[in-house]
Amino acid sequence: MSRSGQHAAAGRGGAAIHDLGYKRYLGTRRPQSTRWRVLVKNAVSTSWRGWWRMKLWVIGSAITTVGIGVPMYVSREKFIEEVLRRVGTGVRWADALLPFSFQFFAALAFILAATAVSGAVARDLRAGAFEFYFSRPVRPLDYMLGKVVGSALVVATALLAGPLLLSLYRIGLSRDLDEVLPALALVPRMALVGAAGTVAFAVVALAFSSLSSRPRLTTSLWVAFYLLFGGTARLLSEVLGSDDLSALSLPRAVEGLAYGVFQIHLAALPGFDREPGLAASYASLLLYTAAGLIVLHVQVRRAERAGLGGG
């Protein structure tokens, strides 16, 4: 742009109007159907600022990945495998550590959702951002898609990236080709569990964030839901002797899905909780995701209808 018009004085009031020069934009515009991607990019880049919101927990996820990777490596020793076989595990310990790792990644995903996701829509409501969005070619669907995908990418740094890296590492630990082929099958399983958990965590946290324009309140609701409601569900499942009831706890549903998909059951071992069944875990994650999407949709539509202007 030319600077010819810089500091041009304007008209009669004498107030200086600064201008870097102006040319009408005659280029092409991004198709309306892809503008949700701009929201995705914004959601991720906003979360990435500062240390406490995302970076710290991504580092935590990396440490957890390494922390699980070390015992996976050590467990390849024949002596340890023999010991484990004698205490009754019918699977390789390195394989069993993969679904086991989800309880750590789920904890990190919970923190990530609390710091980066559970206040996201609330902050938009508080700042009046819906006027900003909907006076542009942004549909409520674009907004939802942008927020859900953006939040899922944030949560995926814990709940999907770490498990996927571990499953690839597991392939690298294979001693021979016979071990490689079954290990390859672990990758899509880890991806499935990680993706299902990621979407559920992101959507539910976003749904809570849409309930109020006070980010602290919505984050508190998410934390209360995760810890109190989840803890109560786990307690009730123990008291009532119903393993599937514990699938109402989001992290237990992820763990139950992981153990179910890997067909590994550690509950027989001392110190391990009974995990919910595969069907109950699937159903729980699906229901939570569906309910979260419905809440989010209703709240976003309401915000859109509230629309522009005052008088």
Binding-site ranges for another protein (CB under 8 A): 1, 5, 10-11, 13, 15-22, 24-25, 27-32, 34-35, 38-39, 42, 46, 49, 123-124, 126-129, 131-138, 304-305, 307-311
d(CA 167, CA 104): 15
Q: Which CB sits closer to another protein, 174 or 220?
A: 220
Residue 37 or 76 having the CB closest to another protein: 37
CB of 181 to another protein, least distance (A): 40
The Cβ of residue 270 has, within 10 Å, a number of other Cβ atoms equal to: 5
Provide, rounded to whole angstroms, the least separation between the CB of residue 58 and another protein: 18
Instruction: State which residue, 241 or 311, has the beta carbon closest to another protein.
Output: 311
CB of 24 to another protein, least distance (A): 6
Of 51 and 79, the one with the shorter C-beta distance to another protein is 51
Q: What sign does the CA torsion over 240, 241, 243, 249 have?
A: positive
What is the length of the chain?
Answer: 311
Region of 89 on the Ramachandran plot (φ > 0 left; ψ -120 to 50 alpha; else beta): beta
Contacts of 120 (CB under 8 A, 6+ apart): 43, 147, 151, 206, 209
Q: How far is the CB of 3 from another protein (least distance, A)?
A: 10
Of residues 43 and 183, the one with the C-beta less far from another protein:
43
Q: How far is the CB of 160 from another protein (least distance, A)?
A: 25
Question: CB of 108 within 8 A of CB of 184?
Answer: no
**Which CB atom, from 29 or from 175, has the smaller least distance to another protein?**
29
Contact at 8 Å (CB) between 201 and 109?
yes
Give the CA count within 13 Å in the CB-facing half-sphere of 114: 17
Residue 136 Cβ vs another protein, minimum distance, rounded to whole Å = 5
Residue written as token pair 């990396």: 62
